[in-house]
Structure 1
Amino acid sequence: MGTTERKHVIESCIQEKLKPVVRKIDSEAFYPLEFIKALGNAGVFQSRLPQSETLLRDTGLIEATSKTCMTTGFNLWCHLAAATYLRRSGNPYLRESVLPLLEDGRLRGGTGLSNPMKYYAGLEKLHLKARRVPGGYSVSGQLPMVSNLGTDHWFAIIASVGESQRIMAFVPCQNENLAMKEKIGYLALNGSATYSCSFHDVFIPDEWIISEQADDYVSQIRPVFVLYQIPLGFGVTAAAAESIEKAADRQGGCNRYLPIQSIEIRDELNRLKERLHRICTSPNVAEQWKPLLQLRLEVVSLTLRAVQADMLHQGGSAYLQVSDPSRRLREAYFLANLTPTVRHLEKLLQQM
C-alpha cells in the first residue's frame, strides 16, 4: 500500500468508523473496536516496510487518529507498541503465529509496561513475580492499570524471576487464573478499555516468552515505546490550533488580544514534528534516547498550552462537558501523566 492510498484509507476509517462515536467514547466509555478492526483489515498495521518507514507510518496514524480522538490514538499506541515487541522478539511462535493476527485486525494488543518502565527508572518495584515450572513460568501479582484489553486481546508483561532475572511475556486476556476488572471514572480516556489485572499462578508457556533477558530487551524497545506517544500530543495540538482558528471572529474578533494564537502553536508544532521525523529516519533510533525524552517532554508542554488556549478562545461553549475543547483539555492532562510522566521524564533527563 502506497503512502497516498494509506492516508486515504486512514481518513476514510476516521470519518466512517471513529467520528460518529467520539462523544460516546468520551462519555460512555465506549471502546472503538470497529475502527481498530477496520484499520487492521485494510492492512494499515502490516510490517513489510523498512524500520524508518514503519515508524513514520505508525506515528502518522496515531497523530491523525488523535486529532479526532486521543483515547483512540492511545489505544493504537498500545496496539502498535505491542506489535513492536513481537517484531523484535527472537520467539518464532510470537512472530509467525501471533504477530500476523495483530497486524490483520483479528487480535488487539496491550502494553502492560507502565510498572516495568517505572521499575527501570528506579521509581517502583516490579509488581509481578515469576517462577520457573515445567514448560514455562508461573506468574503472580497485580498490575493496577493495563489498557486496550478485551476478549480478543493480548498484552505484554515483565516479571522478576528471583533477584537477578526478569522475563518479558505476551499474555492473552482469556487466561486461567487471570482476573480482570474494568477501570472507569477517570477524568478522560474512559474508552481505552483499561483493566486491573490480577495474576494468581498464571501459567505462561515458553512459546509466549518475548525474552528471558528483559533487562537487555527493554533497552531495545523502550525508545519506540516513547516515540509512539509523541504523535498523541501532535494530534491534540493540531486539533486545538484548528479550533482556535474557527473561533477567530467570535465577540467582535476580541480573541486576537489573547496572548497565545494558533500561528505560534502551529510553528512550534511543525518544529517538533521535524525533530520527530529526524529521529524516525536516523540509522539507530535506540541511540536517540535522550532526544526522544526531551521531545516527549516538550510535546506535553505544547499540548497543554494549546488546549488551555483553545478553552479561552472558544469561551463559554467550551465549558460544556461534551464540548471538543473540554475533551481535549482532559486528554492533554492524561498525556502529561502517561508513563513516562512529566516527573518521570524530568528525572530521567536530569540523571543523564
Structure 2
Amino acid sequence: MTSIALQAGSNELETWLDTHAEAIDTEQELASEILPRLGRAGVFRIGVPTNLGGTDGTIGDAIEAVAKVAEHSLAAAFVFWGQRTFIEYLLQSSNETLRTRWLAPLLSGELAGATGLSNAMKYLSAIEPLQMKARPLDSTGAHARWTLDGGLPWITNLRPEGFVAAAAFDHHAAEDDQVPPSIFAIPHDGAGVVRSPDLDLIALRSSNTAALHVGGTVLDDTYLITADAPAWLAVVRPSFLGLQCGMSIGLARRCLAAVGEAGAGSRAAVEDEAAHLARELDGLTRRLKDGVGNGTFISEPAALFEIRIALADVVEKAVGLEIQVVGGRGYLRGQSGTARRTREAAFVPIVTPSLVQLKNQLAQHRKALAA
C-alpha cells in the first residue's frame, strides 16, 4: 500500500485510517476524530501559499493528497475533499476578511469547512435552480446586509463541533435590477442556522453528512465569498471537481494494489486487465492535474467532465478485478477491505455532479457543437 508520506504525523494518520477504515465507513462514533487527525498530518496546507499558512505546492499536489488518503478510507477522503475545497473557496475569494477570520482554524482542522455548492454547480450547468434566497436589508452601518432563507438536503463535513458552509443564493430584487446569485459563508452559530441529524447513509457514515437549513439568517458582506456566483463558479469548478476526482484516483489505486497482492494464480488471470487499467489511471491522473493546473478546464469544462466519467469507469473495473481475485474471502467479515471498497465504489457515480448529470451535460455540449 502506498504511504501517504505528506507531512509530519502522516504515518500516524495512515496507521489510524487503516485500523479504523471499516468503522469510519459503517459507524459514526469516530466522525469527530477525522478532521483533527487530517489537520495534524498537515494535509490541508498542501497547495496553499506559505504566507497564508500553507506549505506551498500546487492544486495538483492537493489532488494527490486526497488520492493518498482515499487509498485508506474514502470516507476520510470525502471529509478531506470538503475541507480542502472550502479552503480553496477562500483562496479564490476577493474577501480578505474571510481568510483572516477562518483560514487558520480551517488549515489546522479545528474548524470544518463544508462546500455546500453542489446545488450551485448544478445551477451553473443548468441542471437545477438555486434552492436558497437572499433579500437585501437596509443597512445602517458600513456593511450591506441580507436576510437568507432556504435549505440544502445534503452537505458533507457539517461537523457538530463547529463548521462554516458555503452556499449560493438567488437574490430577490426589483425586476429591473439584474443581480446575479451570490455565495455566502454560513457560520454554524448564526441565528436561524439549523443542522439536521446525520443522514442515514449506507456507507461513509463518519463524514458528518447532514442537511442544512437557514431561516431568516442575517449576514453582512464580510461573509460574502463572491457577489457574482456564475463567473466565480466557472473559475473554481476545476478545483472542486479536480479534488473530488482525487477520491476516485486513490480508490482505484488501492483496488489495483489489492489485485497485485493476490495469489499468483488469481493475479495471473487478470494481470493484463489490471496493467491496462493502471496505465489508463495514470494517464487520466496526469491529464487531470495538467488541466486543473494550467486553467484549461475553466474554458473547456467538458474535458474535465470526460475525465471524471472515465475515472469512475476505472474505479468500477478496478473494484471488479479485486472482487475476482479475492474471491470468497471478501465475503468474510474482517478478512479484507474488499466489501468496504465495493461500497465506496458505489458512491463514486452519485457524488454531485453525478455521472448521469455529467453525461447529460456532455450530450448537450456535443449537440450544440454539431449545430
Normalising by structure 2, we get a TM-score of 0.85
1:160 aligns with 2:154: no
- SS of the residue 1:9 aligns to: coil
Q: CA deviation at 1:338?
A: 0.7
Q: CA deviation at 1:291?
A: 2.1
User: Which is further off, 177-186 or 31-40?
Assistant: 31-40
Q: Quote the Cα distance in structure 1 between the aligned partners of 2:12 and 2:105.
A: 19
Q: Which residue of 1 aligns with 2:19?
A: 20
Change (3 A) 1:318 1:5: closer
User: One-letter code of the match for 1:248?
Assistant: G
Q: 1:242·1:262 contact (CA, 8 Å) conserved in 2?
A: no
Contact 2:9–2:40, Cα closer than 8 Å, also in 1: no
Q: Which runs of 5+ in 2 are unaligned?
A: 366-371
Does 2:290 align with 1:289? no
1:316 and 2:322 correspond: no
C-alpha offsets along residues 170-210 of structure 1, whole Å, 9 cap, x if unaligned? 11122221221123332322111011112211122221111
Alignment correspondent of 2:355: 342
2:269 corresponds, among 247, 257, 260, to 257
Tell me the SS of whatever aligns to 1:53: coil
Task: Pick which of 50-59 and 11-20 moved more.
Answer: 50-59
Is 1:196 the equivalent of 2:200?
no
After superposition, residues 64-79 of structure 1 pair within 5 angstroms as 64-79=68-83
2:346 counterpart (333, 343, 350): 333
Which one-letter code corresponds to 2:223 in the other structure? W
Distance 1:63 1:254, change over 3 A: closer
Paired residue for 1:29? 28
Q: Which residue of 1 aligns with 2:315?
A: 303
The percentage of counterpart residues that share the same residue type is 24
Q: Is the CA contact 2:166–2:186 (under 8 Å) kept in the aligned structure 1?
A: yes
1:15-34 CA distances to partner (integer Å, 9 max, x unpaired)? Answer: 24422221211121244544
Task: Give the deviation of 1:258 after TM superposition.
Answer: 4.8
- For residue 303 of structure 1, give the secondary structure of its aligned residue in structure 2: helix
Find the residue that maps to 1:269 and give its secondary structure: helix
Paired letter, 2:71: K
Aligned to 2:263: 248
Aligned partners of 1:145 and 1:197 also within 8 Å: yes
Contact conserved, 1:22 with 1:69, CA < 8 A, in 2?
yes
Q: Is residue 154–residue 210 contact of structure 2 (8 Å, CA) maintained in 1?
A: yes
The answer (yes or no) to whether the contact 1:13–1:35 under 8 Å persists in 2 is no
Aligned counterparts, 1:110-121, within 5 A: 110-121=114-125
SS at match of 2:126: coil
Residue in 2 that maps onto 1:140? 149
What does the per-residue CA deviation read over 1:240-289, in whole Å, with 9 as the maximum and x for residues that have no partner?
A: 0111122234xxx2553358743222122111122123224425552352
AA in 1 matched with 2:349: A
